[in-house]
Amino acid sequence: MNLIILGLPAAGKGTQAKKISQEYNLTHISTGDILRKAATEKSLFGKEIKKYLDAGELVPDEMAIGIVKEKLLKEDLDAGVVFDGFPRTPKQAEALTEILAELGKKLDLAIYIKADEAEIIRRISGRRVCRDCGASYHLDYNPPEKERVCDRCGGKLIQRSDDQEETVKKRIRLHSKLLAQLISYYEEKAILKTVLSKGGIEEVFARIKEIIEVNL
């Protein structure tokens, strides 16, 4: 099964994509995680990516598509893939359809996690991520066992550079329009399912599992 998770920043895409990949043994491809890792490199490429991320702007379509293509060619795709943060634009959506077709695969589900702006702001302001392994926490909703320390690797927990209030507002503005276009694209393909983001992480996951189970 191949699926994508759609939603505004901090809707819970990464949190749910990780749980889905563990439960169904799917490969998790997060363009945001790949780009954040690349942005820590001292190379010119790393610095260029960092500029986009810090500004809350999308990297060019060709770059995002290239990253996903490269990853797909490397991974074992037999069990399936959960895409998180990709596609982000109609051009990326078309590219994903084509890349999967070239590999003899198709997208089975597009799960849209619907969140309102107030919830997004609460989630972003409490989010902390591990500087070393990228694991994500929330100070109230999903706290680490030890304050400011990653449960998984012991790394330091920090705020993401694009989680500043002004950048967040910019990301929401930018993504709202593109998200609407992606929703129409997958509605037309009759694979869109909407899940409300309200409730805790496990509650949202239970809703997603119900959808996946009927599509397995």
Q: Which amino acid, one-letter code, is at 114?
A: K
Rounded-to-integer distance, Cα 165 and Cα 154, Å: 27
Tell whether residue 134 is a contact of ligand AP5 (CB under 6 A): no
Nearer to Mg ion, 105 or 170 (CB): 170
Tell whether residue 200 is a contact of ligand AP5 (CB under 6 A): yes
Which of 154, 135, 162 is closest to 19 using CA atoms? 135
Q: Kindly give the pairing relationship between strand 109-114 and strand 192-196.
A: parallel
Rounded-to-integer distance, Cα 216 and Cα 78, Å: 14
Question: Which region among 93-101, 123-131, 148-156, 208-216 touches ligand AP5 (by CB under 6 A)?
Answer: 123-131
Rounded-to-integer distance, Cα 173 and Cα 144, Å: 30
Residues lying near Mg ion in the complex (CB under 5 A) are found at: 14, 32
Q: Identify whether the C-beta of residue 123 lies closer than 8 Å to the C-beta of residue 10.
A: yes
Question: Which region among 20-28, 58-66, 145-153, 182-190 touches ligand AP5 (by CB under 6 A)?
Answer: 58-66
Given 127, 128, 193, 207, the catalytic residue? 127
Positions in the binding site for ligand AP5 (CB under 6 A): 7, 9-15, 31-32, 35, 52-53, 56-59, 64, 85-86, 88, 92, 123, 126-127, 136-138, 141-142, 162, 171, 197, 200-201, 204
Q: Which residues form the catalytic set?
A: 13, 88, 127, 160, 171
